[in-house]
Structure 1
Amino acid sequence: MMAGGPPFTLGVDTHEGLAALTRAIRAEEDGKQLRKELAANLRAALRPGAAQAKSGIMAMSSAGLATAPALRASIARKIRPEVKLGGRWSGARVKAFKTKSLRHFPNAPRRTNRARGWRHPVWGNREVWVQQHGKVDWFDRAFQGREGVYRAAVEAAMENMARRIADRAG
């Protein structure tokens, strides 16, 4: 680090780099606004990945009678980018949140993504159970081969914010 330079390095491609960037933002006068802007930029960088994951679950085949609420649409609504700056975990990721009010099936995103599937009673009859399989790895396939693209977009958003702070200090 050069004398008189920013209080952090511009290489913010690691977890430690994000923590250093967050500390530098806190030290700024308008730190709260800068944090909001960084979080918005990180979410924007991950939005295409969330859209891919949503299209992955919507492509799952649907058989049987139409019931409300719709399983695939409910899962798709719960997929979004998550950004946390500070605390125990800092970072940016695309997450499929639990579907708490979906037909007593809170772990629907996780269960439809795994090969083993899930068991459920047939129309509420607790004596007859069936094993159901979803579209295996729909969430994981959405990011396969594109991890580098999303990582680069997140790193670019972090680098831009680091440069802005460095330009202020310099």
Structure 2
Amino acid sequence: MAGGPPFSLGVETHDGLAAVVRAIRAEEDGKQLRKELAQNMRDALKPGAQQAKNSIMGMVSLHGATPALRTSIARKIRPEVKLGGRWSGARVKAFKTKNIRGFANAPKRTNRASGWRHPVYGNREVWAHQRGKLEWFDRAFRGREGLYKQAVEQAMEDMARRIASRAR
């Protein structure tokens, strides 16, 4: 294809994302373009992250313990974008909650159907089994996966078109 873009505009695959990133690197202002692409992809996922935060905040809290577990988990939910390296892509991630009542894997454990175990008031002799809001993170995205995937792909397509228009 003579005079066409230097890469395929079909960026719905990992290869497409890699092609866009390579094209961005070749541009003079590639660093700025890369930042813009990452920001646009994060913006596309922000509604999903907010939905997940709302879901964990809806979990029942029986005790007024501090620091608040639900709030701590909600603070650690955010969109993540990586453009290069061993993993490239965009996702919403619930990061570990270090230093929150010794419960580093709180997002993972509260999302599990089987729940989690913990010592009662720090007494390692007595353990309790607790269940959170069943699959709060997974349910926040159920039925909307295609919408977020399409929004991220649109951000990638827009950047690909922008770079391709420069090549002409």
TM, length-normalised to structure 1: 0.97
CA distance in 2, matches of 1:26, 1:109: 36
User: After TM superposition, where is structure 1 displaced by more than 2 Å over at least 4 residues in a row?
Assistant: none
Unaligned residue ranges in structure 1 (runs of 5+): none
1:143-164 CA-partner distances (Å, limit 9, x unpaired): 0000111011001100000000
Q: Deviations over 1:38-76 (max 9, x none)?
A: 000000000000000000000000112x12110000000
Query: Which runs of structure 2 are paired with 1:125-140 in the superposition (5 Å)?
Result: 125-140=123-138
- The superposition leaves residues 96-136 of structure 1 with CA deviations (integer Å, 9 ceiling, x where unpaired) of 00001111100000000001111001001111100000011
Unaligned runs of 5+ in 2: none
Output aligned runs, 1:86-105, within 5 Å: 86-105=84-103
Residue 81 of structure 1 aligns to a residue whose secondary structure is strand
Name the aligned partner's letter for residue 93 of structure 1.
Answer: R
Equivalent residues in 2 for 1:80-119 (5 A)? 80-119=78-117
CA distance in 1 between counterparts of 2:104 and 2:4 reads: 49
> Structure 1 vs Structure 2: percent identity of aligned residues?
76
When the two structures are aligned, how many residues end up with a matched partner? 168
What is the CA distance between 1:4 and its match in structure 2?
Answer: 2.3
TM-aligned CA deviation for residue 7 of structure 1: 1.6
